[in-house]
């Protein structure tokens, strides 16, 4: 099980969750943040600090955001499990679904 970041994060990327994560498993793409399911330890520290309520426990993802389970996992298909987001900085990429979205939050 893991936590998942969904649509409300797109184009917001507040990063409060990144600061709170004890295992550095939240990676930053161009338009949103992604939780690496292989590195997440399910501590839940990220969820309450998200100001836009974009983070959900895997079993609690609302139906309208269910595709974000696959979106978060697929973001790491090429990237793998680097063992920490801080050393990579912003990754010049996004899942194709996220990249194709119109601007959010405006």
Report yes or no on whether pTM surpasses 0.75: yes
Q: How confident is the model at residue 76 (pLDDT cuts 50, 70, 90)?
A: very high
Boundaries of domain holding 51: 3-86
Asked, for residue 101, whether it belongs to a domain, the answer is no
Neighbours of 76 (CB within 10 A): 18
Q: What CATH number did the domain enclosing 42 receive?
A: 3.30.70.20
pLDDT of residue 6: 98
pLDDT digits (tens, 9 = 90+) for 34-75: 999 999 999 999 999 999 999 999 999 999 999 999 999 999
Average pLDDT over all residues of the chain = 95
Q: Which residues of 23-32 are buried (b: 16+ CB within 10 A; e: fewer)?
A: ebbbbbbebb
Asked, for residue 93, whether it belongs to a domain, the answer is no
Span 4-13, mean pLDDT? 97
Q: How many domains does the chain have?
A: 1
Q: What does the DSSP assignment read for 8-29? A: GGTTT---HHHHH-TT--EEE-
Give the C-alpha separation, 52 to 78, whole Å: 28
């Amino acid at each position: 099980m893991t936590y998942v970041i969904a649509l409300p994060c797109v184009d917001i990327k507040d990063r409060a969750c990144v600061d709170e994560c004890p295992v550095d498993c939240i990676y930053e793409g161009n338009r949103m943040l992604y939780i690496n399911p292989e590195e997440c330890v399910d501590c839940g520290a990220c969820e309450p600090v998200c100001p836009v309520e974009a983070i959900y426990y895997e079993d609690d993802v609302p139906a309208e955001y269910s595709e974000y389970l696959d979106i978060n996992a697929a973001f790491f298909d090429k990237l793998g499990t680097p063992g920490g987001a801080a050393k990579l900085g912003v990754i010049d990429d996004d899942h194709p679904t996220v990249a194709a979205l119109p601007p959010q939050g405006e």
